[in-house]
Each structure stands twice: as C-alpha cells, then as structure tokens.
Structure 1
Amino acid sequence: MLVSTKRVLLQRRKGFALAVASLITTFSAPAQAVPPLSRLTRPSAASSTARPATPDTAVRTITWQMLSALDYRKGNIPASIQQLAGQRVRLPGFVVPLDDLQETVKEFLLVPYFGACIHMPPPPPNQMVFARLVTKATVSMWNPVWIEGRLEVTPVQSPYGVVSYRIAGERITPYRN
C-alpha cells in the first residue's frame, strides 16, 4: 500500500514538473518566436472614415517599432520620438497589471506581446509603457487592448525594471482589427 502511494505521488510530481517546464519553455522563448503584433498596429476601418480631428483631439496611432527607436543604453532620443512627446497617441499591446486586483486596473505596463514581464528578463525599456488611467478599468491580461492618452518620454521605475515611456491613459478598449 505504501509503495503504491509513493508511486502515485511520484507520477503526480513528474506530471507537475512537466507542466511547469512546458510553461517555462513557452514563456521564455525569444521574442522572435512570439507572433508579432504588427497586425495590431493598423488603424481600424472606422478610424479611417472618421471626421478630421482638431490638433487638440487628434490621436495618432503609433507602433512598437516606432518606440524602439529610442536608444535607452546611451540615452539618445531621436527626433521621431521627441515629436511624439506630449502628443495624444493610440498604441496596441498587452496589459501587465501593477495593481493588486488583476481584473480592474488603474496602473499597468503595456507590452508588445503576451507573456512579457512574466519571465526574466523583461522586454527592453523602450518596449514597455507605464500607463496610469484616469479611472479603473476592467481588462484581461490575456487579450490585446488599445490605449489612448498623452505620451511622455520619461523613465519610470517599475517592479520589472526601468520603463522608457509613460501614458496618461484616457481610454482603454479591447483590440479589434
């Protein structure tokens, strides 16, 4: 009886170890192995038929590729990034909650691909955006979102390291193609 109980426990332990190893392998794969969010950077058809916006209300859709132009190692901020500072922007990505409640968030990191920050090392600073919403919102970290707000090129210290950008989030919506 004791031998069969030990055998069952060992089999369960092996199964658990295999499941954990599978998760680690999945989430520690290089960023290139993760499907890119390039499909998330296209504006929706609705935005292309909207009326022209005034300079104060204009929202510019930006991409992670644009944000990667910042040289965080040397601190060089190219003109393309300087032009974005203070502008209202729209950026797609995945939410990494910084609040205790993971379903309603006010502060979070926006990252370009699912699973970023769950493993180490996190994405580089120019591929993370610290977001603070005006009011709490219900979001899922499993699905991509659009965030709109004013972009600042200001380093922020987060639990996952330094972040190069912050957005004063005015609106967060589920991503729709």
Structure 2
Amino acid sequence: MKKLASIVLTGVLSVGFLFAAPASSVTVTWNVLKTLDKTKKNTPAEALNGKEVTIPGFMVPFEDDAENVSEFLLVPFAGACIHVPPPPPNQMIYVKLPKGKTTKFPWTDPISVTGKLHISTVDSPYGDVSYNMDGEVVAPYEE
C-alpha cells in the first residue's frame, strides 16, 4: 500500500496529520471525468456521483493565503485558470475541506485529493465547474 506524505491540515490548533487515501476510494483519471456530457446518459463519470474517489491534479486556490487554503479548484494541469484560459467545466473540481481545516498551496507540485465526488454545477471565479468534492485528504501526488 502506498503511503502518502502529509500536507499539514490545520484546525483551531496547528495539528499535523499523516493521511493516506481510504482503502475504499477509487483512483479516477481526468479521461474518465471528461466523459461527463449533459447530452449523454450513463457515462463513466456519472457512475462516480456520490462515490469516494482519489484524483490527482493541481490546485488553484481561491484564497490569497497560500498557507491556509480551505477551498480550491482541482485541475488536470499546472497553471490552469491562472496563466491560460480555464479548462472545460468537466475538467475542474471545486474542492471544499471540512470546516476549520486548511492545507498549504503547493504551487506547481501535483497533489492527490480524496473525498466524496458530486456532479453538480458550481459557479466559480473561473466559470462553471461540473464537479464538487467534499475533500477529506490532500497529499502530494505519488505514482
């Protein structure tokens, strides 16, 4: 079983945790996520609605404080939304961490996020997003 290095999540007190993706989570690729199409039924992406998943990608934070990020977009490539136009809605995930928890913004380093995935349109500063996730684990990405 792969061990994931921790990214410190902070609560009321600064407490570090070592996280690993739950055994019940399914690792999902961006190729699967981009199958979401409102004109088609029963896509592989639709089967993930409400499931515990782990998705690698890059963080685009909403907050200016790089040390205390609680909400962010997960995107498939570094610099998306910042230096280039945003990806299509089915290639962005709005991630919200549990109340009182934050993570550090890793700049251009890939991360892996685990949580419950939902298909729903979310309005973000970068346009519509097709997915939202109840983020539980944020860790550096390891192949």
Q: CA deviation at 1:79?
A: 3.5
Rg larger in structure: 1
CA pair 142-103 structure 1, distance change in 2 beyond 3 A: farther
Q: Is the 8 A contact 1:93 1:144 kept in 2?
A: yes
Match of 2:56 in 1: 92
> Which structure features the higher share of helix residues?
1
Match of 1:30 in 2: none
Query: Aligned equivalents of 2:92 and 2:142: distance in 1?
Result: 21
**Match status 1:119 vs 2:74:** no
Match of 2:94 in 1: 130
CA pair 67-143 structure 1, distance change in 2 beyond 3 A: same
**Match status 1:64 vs 2:46:** no
1:9-88 correspondence runs (5 A): 46=2, 58-71=24-37, 74-88=38-52
Dislocated runs of 4+, deviation >6 Å? none
Which residue among 120, 132, 140 is the counterpart of 1:166?
132
Q: Give the percent of matched residue pairs that are identical in Structure 1 and Structure 2.
A: 43
What is the TM-score normalised by the length of structure 1? Answer: 0.64
Query: Aligned equivalents of 1:82 and 1:111: distance in 2?
Result: 18
Q: Is the 8 A contact 2:36 2:43 kept in 1?
A: no
Let me know the Cα RMSD of the aligned residues: 1.9
Report 1 or 2 for greater relative contact order, CA contacts < 8 Å, sequence distance ≥ 6: 2
Q: Is the 8 A contact 2:34 2:45 kept in 1?
A: no
Query: Aligned equivalents of 1:77 and 1:125: distance in 2?
Result: 17
Which residue among 91, 108, 121 is the counterpart of 1:155?
121
Query: Aligned equivalents of 1:147 and 1:125: distance in 2?
Result: 18
Q: CA deviation at 1:163?
A: 0.3
Q: For residues 136-177 of structure 1, what are the alpha-carbon distances to aligned partners after superposition, in whole Å with 9 as ceiling and x for unaligned?
A: 112312100000000000110000000000110001001122
For 1:112, the aligned partner's letter is: P
Q: For residues 105-133 of structure 1, what are the alpha-carbon distances to aligned partners after superposition, in whole Å with 9 as ceiling and x for unaligned?
A: 10000000011001342100010000001
Match of 1:106 in 2: 70
Q: For residues 42-96 of structure 1, what are the alpha-carbon distances to aligned partners after superposition, in whole Å with 9 as ceiling and x for unaligned?
A: xxx628xxxxxxxx9610000000000012xx45453422210110000000000
What is the TM-score normalised by the length of structure 2? Answer: 0.79
Q: Is the 8 A contact 1:122 1:160 kept in 2?
A: yes
